[in-house]
Amino acid sequence: MVQANDTNRFTALLANEREEWHQTVRDLLRPQGVHTVIAHSGREALDLIESIPVHVAVLDVQMPQLGGLQVIRLLRELHKATPTILLANHLTNHLLQEALGMQVFSVLSKPVDFNVLLDALARVLRRYHENRWPEEEGYRKPEIRNPNDESNPKPE
């Protein structure tokens, strides 16, 4: 794993009530050089996004204090364009239309298939950060890979 200052690493905010979910996702992303920050409520997620650089926010629709859609709405009002991945127990047409209207990057159903989440994070990295990644000596942009995808050979 490449060591770097956290301010120059791809940072993913994980906002979900379940601590074991945080730990599982953190363990999947750490070897790939992704720094994770944790929020247990929508208010905590919003505070973190306002105070530190976050490259992607993974938000649960149902969280204490503020739900994921409320957090996204407030971020847009603050002119924060943090890409978001929304997690939902039930994918309804209304939810998908609302998410589309708020330019949510992806909506995933729960329980989350971690391979699908890794793919969504990799797509966020490519779309929003590919040519804007800070280059420093001894540091390279993370390549989020699905360990089960044989079409993605491991770098040498």
pLDDT per position as a tens digit, 42-93: 999 999 998 998 999 999 998 888 888 999 999 888 877 889 999 999 899 9
Q: Given this model, what pLDDT does residue 113 score? A: 92
In a domain, 146, yes or no: no
Instruction: Examine residue 1 and state whether it is found in any structural domain, yes or no.
Output: no
pTM, two decimal places? 0.78
Q: Which residue from 7, 33, 9, 37 is spatially nearest to 22, judged by alpha carbons?
A: 37
> Which residue(s) pair with 57 in the sheet?
13, 84
Q: Looking at the domain assignment, is residue 100 inside a domain?
A: yes
* 3-state secondary structure (DSSP) of residue 53: coil
Domain of residue 63 covers 6-129
Q: Which range among 51-55, 84-88, 121-125, 130-134 shows the weakest confidence by mean pLDDT?
A: 130-134
Domain contains 93: yes
Lowest mean pLDDT among 55-64, 78-87, 122-131, 145-154: 145-154
Look at residue 63 in the predicted model and tell me its pLDDT: 86
pLDDT in tens, 2-52: 233 455 578 999 998 888 888 999 998 888 888 999 999 999 999 999 899
**Inside any domain, residue 20:** yes
The CATH number assigned to the domain holding 45 equals 3.40.50.2300
Q: What is the pLDDT of residue 93?
A: 93
Predicted pLDDT of residue 131: 58
pLDDT at 138: 44
Tell me how far CA of residue 94 lies from CA of 90, 97, 132, in angstroms.
Answer: 11, 5, 34
The predicted pLDDT at position 34 comes to: 87
Per the CB < 8 A criterion, the answer to whether 17 and 63 are in contact is yes
The total number of structural domains that make up the chain: 1
Residue 148 included in any domain: no
Higher-confidence residue of 6 and 128: namely: 128
| Mutual angle of helices 68-77 and 42-51, in 10-degree steps | 30
